[in-house]
Structure formats: C-alpha cells, structure tokens
A and B are shown apart, each in its own frame.
Chain A
C-alpha cells in the first residue's frame, strides 16, 4: 500500500506537469479563501461570466504565444520579438479596416459609424494578411538565428526594438479604434465560452499534432540537446530552427489579432508590451528548460500561461493596483526559479519516500 503510494508520488513528481499544475491549484485555493465569489460563474447574455472566464479570455493570447515560444526554447533559442510582432499585426489589421488614418479618403466617411460591418479590405484579408506578415517576421528571426548564426537573444532583439517603431509607422502613431463587429468577435465574442479560448485550443491541438504525430517534435528536441550531433545524424538543423521561429511568429500574429480585437484598438505603444516575457515565463513554468532546450511540454506551457493569468486576475480582484501587478509577477518568477532548483526537486521527491520510511519504522 505504502509502497504503491511512494511509487505514485515518485511518478507524479517526476512528471513535467506536476509543478505547473500544483502552482495553479495553489493559487486557486488561495483565491477560494481570500476573495469571496472568485469562483462564481453566471450565465449573462447567453455566455458564461466570471473571474474564471476572464482568466481564460486574457490567458489565451499568452497561451498561444507560449505554444510558439515552447518550440523556439526547445531548440535552445529564445524569441524576444513576439510582443513587437503582435503590435505590427494589430497595426496592419486596423489600418486595413480603417485606412482613413493614413490619409486615404473614403467616399463615405460616416460609414464607420453607421455600418457596424464596414471594413475597407474584406474581412478574410484583414485576418490573413497580418498573419502572413507575422509569419514572415518569425522567419526573419529564423534566418538570422539558423543561417546567420547570430545568438537568438541578439537576433530577436533586432525586431523587438524595431518592431514597435514599424507598428507606429504603419498607423502614423495613431490609435485606430475598430468598429467592425465581426472582427471584434475574435477577442470579445462568446460561444458559451470565450471565442479566443477556442482559438487557443485549436493552436494547441495543431502544435501538438505537428510535433507529436510527426517527427518534427523529436527533431526539435534533438536540435536543442545537441545541434551538431543532430546535423551528423542527418537532421537539417537549420530548417528545424527556421520552422520553430516561423511558427512562433505565426502564433504571435494570432495573439496580436485577439488582443487588438479584444480592446478594439490598435495601440502600437502598448499592445504586446512585455508579453514576450510572459510567454517565456509560461514556458519556463511549464518545465521546458530555458537556455539548454531539449525536452518540451506544450501542455506544461499552456498551464504555465494559466498560472500567470490567474495570478494577475487574482491580484486585480484582490485590489492590487495595476501598476504593482508587475512586482507580483516578479515574485512568481522567484518562486518558479526556486521550485525548479534541483535541491527543491529532490526534497519534494524525498517527501514521498520519507513518509514511507517513518511509517515502517513505527
């Protein structure tokens, strides 16, 4: 009996998902005691409404970013530019809906007010073109890292800094408000659950199938562990890296569309600000090793994103000022670093066996 407990405990703590899930549960338990009504979910206007739903709405962009970031980090790299790519996509999408801001004259400027379905470019283009641009941005990073042999941190720093400037150039540094209701559905709409959550789940399933049902996942891990030996075993390490960064850019594009549609604004200054760090943090909480790469867990990263968002939403409903929430995030980072230290891991593992030893001694 005790032996089987110890074995199960051992297996549980060995799992990559153990720590992120434990962290998520810990925060939720704290919320249960500290914030009355945190778990209340109501049906309002034909959809679910509550703090937990908010976590899913706001967590989904980070979740999507984390999918791409997981693959990049697994190859042993990092992508600092996803926030800037989000800003570029949101600017492109908004300009395509409402180009008056860049000096284009429309025949009927009042149309924006009178017609909630009006867009200048067709809606499919408003979604596809920014995504293509985002993927190209990702591929640019990939080319610099894989073919240019530039340190990932430096290579992606280029776009991180330049991207926001590009986004501002596109919109003339003006915040464009979106009035198109169909577009706003991406980030604001509900089919019982928030629509953005369905998008996040779709991206997750896509990434999972791509990496676990084809050999790409194994290739990515082997490139992360040792790119030279991968090369000698016939894996085209450069193409794998190019794929990972391209996919990361693609994910950033989706996240950018969701965020800009959620607040109905293209805000080149603020959209995606520090989200690259959120995504990296989510991946790290999920158990993928930053810097060395190798073994990765998409599920872990998704849970990691939820851990972050739950912390933020809890803090806001607890009454912590929005400007101080960043400081709380810092505490999360410290906690994560401590939890993943080998010493702490060993301690948790021993907990199971020591309780067994105590019981046999009695």
Chain B
C-alpha cells in the first residue's frame, strides 16, 4: 500500500516535471491538458474465467498503479446485467471520466453507451468486440480473432506439408464467445487457401465454457472414432490443446510427431508444451492491453480525434521448430 502510494507520487512528479518541460514555452491559455493522474477509470471486466483473463486484469491494475491512474475495478462475473449496473454506476459517479468495458456479450449495451455519451464520459472497449454504433464509444482495442484463426490455419498448413489429404479435428471454445466464433471462421478461410495440400476437418466440437475436462473427453472419443486418421488438432486455447495432448498420449500416439497440435493464447503453460515439442504452434493472444487502452483514453480526454474504430493489438506466433533454447529465452521475457 505504502509502496504503491510512493510509486504513484513518483510517477506524478515525473509526469508533471515532463509536462513543465514541454509546456514551459507555450504561454497561450490552451484547454486543460489531461495527464494520467487526472484520469479516474471505471473498468468493467468480464470476470475471472481463465489464465488469460487474470493476466488481462493484472495488466490493467499494474499499469494504473505505475502511471498514477485512479482505477475503480468491477468484476461482473460474466453476467451482462451486472455490467449494465456497473456502467450506470460509473456514469453517475462524478469522479469517473473514463469507462473501460470488456464486454460479456456482443449486444445490449446501446442504452448505457448513449447515457455515457450524454454524461460526457470517455468509453473504450477492450478485448471483446461489441455490436453497437461506433460513434457511441471512442475506440475498440482487442485481438483480431479472425486473423488469429488465419494464422492458425497457416501454421496447420505448414505442419501438414507434404501430406495429401490430411485430416484435422477441431476442439472449439465456448460457442457464445467471439473468440471461439472468429477462430473457427478464420481457420476455415485459412485452410481453404492452403496451397499444396487439402486439409479436411473431420470433426468439430465445442467445449462448453472452455472446460478442459470436456475437451479431453471430446479428443478421446475422436481418437477412437477416427482411429489412425487424425494428423492435426486445432484447439481454441492452450488449456484445450494441453487436454488434447493428454488424450493423444493415452492413445499411444505421440503429439508432435504423429499428431500436430495447434493452440492459442501463448500463455506460459502453452510455451512449456512448445518447448517439449508436443505442441506444434501457439498463436498469441495478447492480454496486456492496458497501456494501449489507457493511451487511447487519454487521447480521448485531450480531444484527439481521427482514431480508428478498431485498433488490433500487437500479437505474434510461436513454433516448436524455433528450438527449445530460443523458446526458453522468449519465455523468460514474457509476463504471462
């Protein structure tokens, strides 16, 4: 507590010092220039359902502390009605000037967005896409799940190169999540463009609520139903990919050589399976969005316009073929 307060003060001094240095010569009475320490953010998070989400939450909390932003955090436990309640509360709170939303669903936010606009609050959407008029919020910063799916497909094409008529099974995430919907869509677009081999999706099943127990059971039954026919597994996140690897092991096959597994998120756990070679590729989904989101909110407060309606986050992809040592070096620098 003491530490964080000292950090905050230090950050405030640094920022105001820097500002004094910049604005020293500009004497004209300009509109108030906001800095991070003038920002009070109401952050409405979806909940705490996965390792990805935990990293996302701590990104917002840590960055706020470091930059001296006053953060009010709300965990909506994956319920839209909770998010609406929190939204209204932040609109009425005179201290809050920025509202950040990680939406649980894709629709149903129009009224609160309008109310926020009327109350002159800056709204930035993070992580999940919503279906609402883009003029109602400042910008959306989140992953391009569709493109992630394309990348996954490209990785699958590489993995199964030289096999004519390779077969893939898909273990999907929760059917309602935009991440799962778009990763499935992007994958299908991607493998259609696969140049020198034809990849067939033998079977596709979704694990409700991204449950790895279900994911493993799905993989087990797939391995028996299509015994000896599966060359690739396309799993919608790392947890599901790892569950599939367990099932592949139990079937007496070797993940990495007999069956190529591709996962998403590139969490530290996924990395460990990349290093052991059991996972072929891991497509990153970056949860550390806070710096980008806070920057956008600050721009909005300062009246910067011309921002894009959607700023895709910066993401990479990692392959087992990069070698264990190189991957270990990358893992050591990563925060999630």
Chain A interface residues (CB < 8 Å from chain B)? 37, 44-45, 49-51, 54, 58, 109-110, 112-113, 168, 172-175, 177, 179, 188, 259, 262-265, 267, 269-271, 273, 312-313, 316-317, 319, 321-323
Contacting B269 at CB < 8 Å: which of A45, A177, A269? A177
Query: Are A317's CB and B225's CB within 8 A?
Result: yes
CB-defined contacts of A45 to chain B, threshold 8 Å: 252
A263 and B206 in contact (CB under 8 A), knowing A113-B328, A177-B269, A317-B225?
A: no
CB distance from B236 to the nearest CB of A (A): 13
Query: Are B212's CB and A321's CB within 8 A?
Result: no
Chain B interface residues (CB < 8 Å from chain A)? 48-51, 53-54, 175, 203, 205-214, 216-218, 220-221, 224-225, 227, 239, 242-243, 246, 249-252, 269, 272, 275-276, 328, 331-332
CB-defined contacts of A44 to chain B, threshold 8 Å: 251-252
A263 and B213 in contact (CB under 8 A), knowing A49-B250, A49-B251?
A: yes
Query: Are B224's CB and A322's CB within 8 A?
Result: no
CA distance A50 to B252 in the complex (A): 11
Query: Are A273's CB and B211's CB within 8 A?
Result: yes
Query: Are B246's CB and A322's CB within 8 A?
Result: no
CB-defined contacts of B328 to chain A, threshold 8 Å: 110, 113
CB distance from B41 to the nearest CB of A (A): 21
Query: Are B220's CB and A54's CB within 8 A?
Result: yes
CB-defined contacts of B50 to chain A, threshold 8 Å: 175, 269
Query: Are B242's CB and A322's CB within 8 A?
Result: no
9 new A-B contacts at CB < 8 Å, known A44-B252, A188-B250, A322-B205: A45-B252, A172-B54, A174-B54, A179-B272, A262-B213, A264-B242, A265-B212, A270-B210, A316-B217
Contacting B221 at CB < 8 Å: which of A179, A264, A316? A316
CA distance A321 to B222 in the complex (A): 12
A322 and B252 in contact (CB under 8 A), knowing A58-B217, A264-B242, A264-B246?
A: no
CB-defined contacts of A175 to chain B, threshold 8 Å: 50-51, 239, 269
A262 and B205 in contact (CB under 8 A), knowing A37-B224, A270-B212, A317-B221?
A: no
CB-defined contacts of B206 to chain A, threshold 8 Å: 321-323
CA distance A319 to B169 in the complex (A): 13
Query: Are B272's CB and A174's CB within 8 A?
Result: no
CB-defined contacts of A273 to chain B, threshold 8 Å: 211
CB distance from B86 to the nearest CB of A (A): 18
CB distance from B232 to the nearest CB of A (A): 20
Work out how many contacts link A and B, with CB atoms closer than 8 A.
98
CB distance from B49 to the nearest CB of A (A): 6
CA distance A109 to B329 in the complex (A): 12
* Nearest A residue to B217, CB-CB: A316
CB-defined contacts of A322 to chain B, threshold 8 Å: 205-208, 214, 217-218
**Interface core residue of A51, A188, A263, A264 (most chain B CB under 10 Å):** A263
CB distance from B249 to the nearest CB of A (A): 8
CB distance from A312 to the nearest CB of B (A): 8
CA distance A179 to B249 in the complex (A): 14
Query: Are B212's CB and A263's CB within 8 A?
Result: yes
Grouping DSSP codes into helix (H, G, I), strand (E, B) and loop, the A interface class, with mixed when no group exceeds half, is: mixed
CB distance from A348 to the nearest CB of B (A): 33
**Interface core residue of B206, B211, B224, B328 (most chain A CB under 10 Å):** B224
Task: Jot down 15 A-B pairs with beta carbons below 8 A, ordered by A.
Answer: A50-B224, A54-B217, A54-B220, A113-B331, A173-B54, A174-B54, A177-B269, A259-B213, A262-B216, A270-B210, A317-B221, A322-B205, A322-B207, A323-B175, A323-B208
Query: Are B272's CB and A113's CB within 8 A?
Result: yes
CA distance A333 to B317 in the complex (A): 46
Query: Are B216's CB and A263's CB within 8 A?
Result: yes
Query: Are A177's CB and B272's CB within 8 A?
Result: yes
CA distance A45 to B331 in the complex (A): 32
CA distance A351 to B227 in the complex (A): 44
CB distance from B319 to the nearest CB of A (A): 17
CA distance A113 to B209 in the complex (A): 28
The 10 A-B residue pairs with the shortest CB-CB distance in the complex, in nearest-first order: A44-B252, A173-B48, A177-B269, A45-B252, A316-B221, A270-B211, A317-B221, A174-B54, A323-B208, A322-B214
Query: Are A313's CB and B272's CB within 8 A?
Result: no
* Nearest B residue to A36, CB-CB: B225
CA distance A179 to B268 in the complex (A): 12
CB-defined contacts of A264 to chain B, threshold 8 Å: 242, 246
CB-defined contacts of B205 to chain A, threshold 8 Å: 321-322
**Interface core residue of B48, B175, B275 (most chain A CB under 10 Å):** B48
CB-defined contacts of B221 to chain A, threshold 8 Å: 51, 54, 313, 316-317
CB-defined contacts of B269 to chain A, threshold 8 Å: 175, 177
CA distance A347 to B221 in the complex (A): 38
CB distance from A16 to the nearest CB of B (A): 30
A267 and B239 in contact (CB under 8 A), knowing A113-B328, A313-B221, A322-B205?
A: yes
CB distance from B251 to the nearest CB of A (A): 6
* Nearest B residue to A61, CB-CB: B213
CB distance from B276 to the nearest CB of A (A): 8
CB-defined contacts of B272 to chain A, threshold 8 Å: 112-113, 177, 179
CB distance from B1 to the nearest CB of A (A): 16
